[in-house]
């Protein structure tokens, strides 16, 4: 489903040549990654049907990817990693299963996809930057 | 004795002195250290792991200590300055005097949410956002775009809760004052909802980038004080032996020399008008 979203965006995007090329490349990657992530779901935490849904789509011109991870600090924060145009969006799962991100840290979302779209909305085209943890 | 006042009752001189002291801490870099510290805690405090500043019983004493430290830094600049508090149950619009150009400045403009009025507008050259989650370096606000300011009735319902906090001592805690004031539970989602209503940096992990942060948390701190007077028999919980949680006599990071027990009575630091 997420790749369908990407293709729809691409079809609109091809009206502008340069942007169209960039989006086509993104769509090809998106399809690959979506398939790969689905495979991982069967072996990872998501395979039990309890984890949040992986996604890979273009939303408002931004490529957003969310997928289960094992190990590292992402696992500590819910076993799920999110990127916006390849830059990590720090997310955290609450004890009741809801989610927050560093961009929306006081508002809970049922799923990482809605959380990530909200971050894209708040960013208004800005680029995520990592914050040094001392 | 320092007296913390409702911001609505400040004189023009008191507002100017507060703003000037904040701007001086910004100029010297002290201010951004507070932003960085807050973000480090908000990113590392987790429901199932070590938690100190947020989503835990020590949310209130941690922020009390954090605000005292900030207030002391302000007083090094101007000894007359104390932290005012913003009662958002009373002053609840983007055009309230707190958001006038002589104090906090107004809402962000529609195009990019940039605050363009008041002493913290980017164009003044005195308020560049350095500790940020993205590459924008100007203060942003989107008041009312999301969230709702808690009502007095919602706050009163939380103040009426007699138990300080409950297991599992995190964002899922039910039936305790702390989590309903913090706003992970309850109809008003009290503290959290004010952050969401402000929008811009206030909605993010680097929320102290907006000076409104201090006025919001001074009000939360006052509500804790109000609650203590309403429930003199109710103690800070948990008392001892709780994994990942700051018990009554455990020290709190990052200071490592102050406990919740030492933060229960604010009167040796300040009183509320």
Q: Give the chain A residue nearest B145 (alpha carbons).
A: A122
> Which residue of B49, B133, B147 is in closest CB contact with A103?
B133
Q: Is A127 on the interface with B (CB under 8 A)?
A: yes
What pLDDT, on a 0 to 100 scale, did the predictor assign at position B170? 98
Give the strand pairing for A80-84 and A62-68.
antiparallel
Q: Do A128 and B206 touch (CB under 8 A)?
A: no
Q: Do A126 and B135 touch (CB under 8 A)?
A: yes
3-state secondary structure chain A: CHHHHHHHHHHHHCCCHHHHHHHHHHHHHHHHHHHHHHHHHHHCHHHHCCCCCCEEEEECCEEEEEEECCCHHHHHCCCEEEEECCEEECEEECCCCCEEECCCCCCCECCHHHHHHHHHHHHCCCCECCCCCC
Q: A125 to chain B nearest CA, in Å?
A: 10
Per-residue pLDDT of chain B (273 residues; tens, 9 = 90+): 799 999 999 999 999 999 999 999 999 999 999 999 999 999 999 999 999 999 999 999 999 999 999 999 999 999 999 999 999 999 999 999 999 999 999 999 999 999 999 999 999 999 999 999 999 999 999 999 999 999 999 999 999 999 999 999 999 999 999 999 999 999 999 999 999 999 999 999 999 999 999 999 999 999 999 999 999 999 999 999 999 999 999 999 999 999 999 999 999 999 999
Interface of B with A (CB under 8 A): 36, 39-40, 42-44, 46-49, 55, 112-113, 131-136, 146-147, 168, 170-172, 183-184, 191-193, 195-196, 199, 203-207
pTM of the complete model: 0.88
Q: Report yes or no: A100 and B42 within 8 Å, Cβ to Cβ.
A: no
What is the domain partition of chain A in residue ranges?
A: 55-123
Q: Is A116 on the interface with B (CB under 8 A)?
A: no
Burial B164-185 (b: 16+ CB within 10 A, else e): bbbeebbbbbeebbbbbbbbbb
Query: Could you give phi then psi for residue B236, rounded to 5 degrees?
Result: -60, 140
Cα distance between residue A116 and residue A91, in whole Å: 9
Positive/negative CA dihedral, B187, B188, B191, B192: positive
Q: Do A128 and B134 touch (CB under 8 A)?
A: yes
Q: Do B133 and A131 touch (CB under 8 A)?
A: yes
Q: Do A92 and B46 touch (CB under 8 A)?
A: yes
Token duo for residue B177: 């004052």
**Per DSSP, what are the bridge partners of residue A128?**
B134
Cα distance between residue B17 and residue B154, in whole Å: 33
Q: How confident is the model at residue A51 (pLDDT cuts 50, 70, 90)?
A: confident
Average pLDDT of A67-72?
Answer: 82
Identify the DSSP state of B235.
P
Cα distance between residue B217 and residue B198, in whole Å: 13
For A:19-48, CB contacts with B below 8 A are none
* Cβ-based burial of A40 (10 A; exposed 0-12, middle 13-18, buried ≥19): middle
Q: Which helix (H) or strand (E) holds B172?
A: none
- pLDDT exceeds cutoff 90 at A124: yes
Q: B14 to chain A nearest CA, in Å?
A: 31
Percent of chain A residues topping a pLDDT of 70 = 55
Contact list, B188 vs chain A (CB under 8 Å): none
Q: A97 to chain B nearest CA, in Å?
A: 10
Q: Is A86 on the interface with B (CB under 8 A)?
A: no
Contact list, B172 vs chain A (CB under 8 Å): 94-96
Q: B79 to chain A nearest CA, in Å?
A: 31
Residue B173: is the preceding peptide bond cis (ω within 30°)?
no
Token duo for residue B144: 């009312």
Task: Residues A55-123: name the CATH superfamily.
Answer: protein ne1242 domain like (3.30.1880.10)
Residue pLDDT, tens place only, A79-112: 899 999 999 999 999 999 999 999 999 999 999 9
> Which residue of A76, A105, A126 is in closest CB contact with B42?
A105
């Amino acid at each position: 489903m997420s790749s369908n979203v990407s293709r729809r965006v691409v079809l609109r995007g091809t009206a502008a040549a340069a942007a169209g090329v960039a989006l086509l490349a993104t769509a090809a990657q998106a399809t690959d990654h979506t398939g790969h992530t689905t495979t991982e779901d069967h072996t990872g935490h998501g395979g039990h049907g309890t984890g949040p849904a992986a996604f890979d789509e273009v939303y408002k011109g931004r490529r957003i990817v969310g997928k289960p991870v094992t190990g590292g600090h992402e696992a500590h924060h819910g076993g799920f990693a999110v990127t916006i145009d390849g830059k990590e969006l720090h997310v955290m799962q609450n004890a009741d299963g809801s989610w927050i991100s560093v961009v929306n840290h006081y508002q809970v979302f049922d799923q990482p996809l809605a959380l990530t779209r909200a971050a894209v909305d708040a960013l208004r085209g800005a680029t995520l930057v990592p914050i040094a943890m001392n | 004795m320092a007296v913390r006042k409702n911001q609505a009752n400040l004189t023009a001189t008191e507002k100017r002195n507060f703003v000037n002291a904040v701007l001086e801490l910004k100029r010297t870099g002290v201010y951004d250290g507070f932003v960085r510290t807050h973000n480090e805690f908000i990113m590392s405090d987790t429901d199932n792991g070590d938690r100190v500043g947020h989503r835990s019983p020590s949310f209130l004493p941690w922020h009390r200590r954090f605000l005292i430290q900030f207030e002391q830094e302000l007083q090094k600049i101007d000894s007359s300055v104390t932290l005012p508090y913003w009662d958002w149950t009373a002053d609840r619009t983007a055009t309230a005097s707190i958001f006038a150009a002589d104090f906090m400045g107004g809402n962000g403009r529609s195009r990019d949410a940039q605050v363009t009025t008041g002493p913290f507008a980017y164009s003044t050259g005195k308020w560049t956002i350095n500790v940020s989650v993205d590459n924008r370096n100007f203060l942003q606000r989107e008041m009312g775009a999301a969230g709702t300011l808690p009502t007095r009735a919602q706050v009163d319902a939380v103040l009426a809760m007699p138990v300080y906090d409950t297991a599992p001592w995190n964002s899922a805690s039910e039936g305790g004052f702390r989590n309903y004031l913090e706003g992970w539970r309850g109809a008003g989602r009290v503290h959290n909802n004010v952050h969401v209503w402000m929008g811009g940096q206030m909605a993010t992990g680097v929320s102290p980038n907006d000076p409104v942060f201090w006025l919001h948390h001074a009000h939360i701190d006052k509500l804790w004080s109000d609650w203590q007077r309403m429930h003199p028999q109710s103690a800070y919980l948990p008392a001892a032996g709780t994994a990942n949680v700051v018990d009554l006599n455990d020290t709190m990071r990052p200071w490592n020399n102050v406990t919740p027990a030492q933060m229960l009575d604010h009167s040796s630091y300040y009183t509320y008008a």
